[in-house]
Structure 1
């Protein structure tokens, strides 16, 4: 047993840390109390009880995985997600007690990613980072051969909304936030290391290639052909950016609206939360949600709105964006289904006035989002987004 792993076990949740989390969960209480007791004393007791405890932990993880996948994710109780994450930590520990071979570490890495995607791990960030480092250490390096993208030259084009050159906080607060005015903020994130580092897709491969993330398949999440899969970032990068980049819509994959930077803290060091996100009607301001959007040319987010303030920042590539005001909501034919109620039925790139006659009343605003720029969108402003080139965007949502 190597010393690094022994140090890791000291970061695992102790019974006193989790007892309150699992009130009323009789099965989880029994299994996790047994697991915490075993880990705290496993050096002195050898492997006595290890196999049975590991079996129970795996059963607990499977049971809560099923609960998470029953019904819509938004309705899963927080405690279920916490129990799932804690169970995954212990499952990884028992698997590593069994073997620390490269294949076993690869298996454990996948379990850790699923725990981050489905569970609630905010109370165990130190353990998460330490585990990620341990599991990645010593694995064979991902080979390169991905392209280094060219930095796009800025082009002059029409923009139907106001443009401000890296506005001050006061100017943003007055002209954008308080006015409820969508605005293109030019050259606002030029200081981000990401603008240069992420153009080399081999850097992303090296830092993030081993992580598992949810990928959207198909160019448009509102289409019948759309689906999702969990894949390694390395496989996604090679399929979408290596070799032949001309793809049919059904072959397009999109890492969309994903909390990549909490999953991979190393990438978060390449960006920073814009100061504009500190302006809020709440006191104190709430948390800022950071989402990643990475994909080839041709990815589409259909016309939809978000409930929070949105600052969409372009790292590389460019995106054509069409906006519409909240006042035009009824004219944009939102889907009737509960989970697509914030998404329009229309294809704003090819308006069908015969099927959707009210669309003729809508005033649309067109713009091009280029590297280094940010688009501010107030809550409930409709927006359609299409990538014109391989693209990486970061959005910041806040209230």
Structure 2
């Protein structure tokens, strides 16, 4: 075992760290007890890396990962217990290490990177963030750089346009609390994220390629998630960036990295932003957690008219988006889908209103605005919004209660 890998094993969960988690999981308890014990022996030089015991444990760990993958994919993801997701993530960690004990070639590291990404997408890795970052660095180190250069986007010049909602220039917390949060008033907030390093750094798509290119993420295929042609795929960010931001073919489908917890997956990018202080204002005491989502795509991506159950601060890092809003009181006039999955999504095309097919739209008051680079849009819970990117765009949304 090479020295860097040996050092990494010291960050793996120890039996004492996970024993309580496994009280009612006899299979996982048996397998992970053997795995943690074996890794401790490796650290002390008691056991070799190619023993019969190692082969047996590797097989058991792979079976544990497969078993919990099936449990995660049985029923709706929201109903999967946190324990199952944690066991899956821990199993993936050990699976990666046993694969690396077998082989540390670039091809094997690529396989392990895929396992790590899937563990982040499906599992729960919050308790092992130090190991996640260190392992990511180890797997990416020495990887051949993509020779194809991506463009450095030009900052968009601010344009003068109408805005149907109030605008505030970098309001202080008290002003935001009274005029926006308590008043439940959608508001365009100006000059509130200019201090983010992301505002300049992310315009260089080669920076995103270097920091995040090897990560696997879920990408939406098609411009509108509510359409029949919409689908999802897991792809490397480097492939997504090359297809959508380099010279594209005329028939290239629109792809969208949408509503993804990218900053949990790639901590280096999280250091380029900061949670706005406005998200600390809550009816709860103490305030709950803040969900951070990434939205990256070319011009033409669309989020159909929908609402979110939490307070929403949508921050525009680069590019611009045309947004149409409607109040919660107009919900019955906006023709929500009847299915449970799309119950918070309207059947209408907010950009091309069809008053014949949807006559109740006559009763709806719509509000339009252009979200430009450096702007933040505050939307109270259950405010309907339609979003269409007018240029290549990276947005970050913060949801809280």
TM-score band, normalised by shorter chain: over 0.9
- Out of 223, 226, 235, the residue aligned to residue 227 of structure 2 is 223
Q: Describe the superposition over 1:300-359 as per-residue Cα deviations: whole angstroms up to 9, x where unpaired.
A: 000001111100000110000000000011111111111211111111111122222111
Tell me the CA shift for residue 73 of structure 1: 1.1
Partner of 1:269: 271
Tell me which stretches of 4 or more aligned residues in structure 1 moved more than 4 Å.
245-248
Distance 1:161 1:263 in 2: 34
CA contact (8 A) 1:144 1:205 kept: no
Partner of 1:69: 73
Partner of 2:21: 21
Q: How many residues align?
A: 397
Q: Find out whether 1:385 has 2:387 as its counterpart.
A: yes
Q: Find out whether 1:341 has 2:336 as its counterpart.
A: no
Partner of 1:235: 239
User: Aligned ranges for residues 169-248 of structure 1 at < 5 Å?
Assistant: 169-244=173-248
Q: Find out whether 1:79 has 2:83 as its counterpart.
A: yes
CA contact (8 A) 1:258 1:292 kept: yes
- Out of 93, 96, 119, the residue aligned to residue 100 of structure 2 is 96
User: Aligned ranges for residues 1-399 of structure 1 at < 5 Å?
Assistant: 1-42=1-42, 43-46=45-48, 47-48=50-51, 49-244=53-248, 251-399=253-401
Give the match's secondary structure for 1:366.
strand
Distance 1:27 1:193 in 2: 46
Gaps of 5+ in 2: none
Tell me the CA shift for residue 76 of structure 1: 1.3
Distance 1:31 1:359 in 2: 59
Tell me the CA shift for residue 246 of structure 1: 5.1
Which TM-score applies when normalising by structure 1? Answer: 0.98
Gaps of 5+ in 1: none
Which TM-score applies when normalising by structure 2? Answer: 0.97
Distance 1:325 1:187 in 2: 25
Indicate the RMSD between aligned Cα atoms, in angstroms: 1.1
Distance 1:143 1:282 in 2: 50
CA contact (8 A) 1:212 1:232 kept: yes
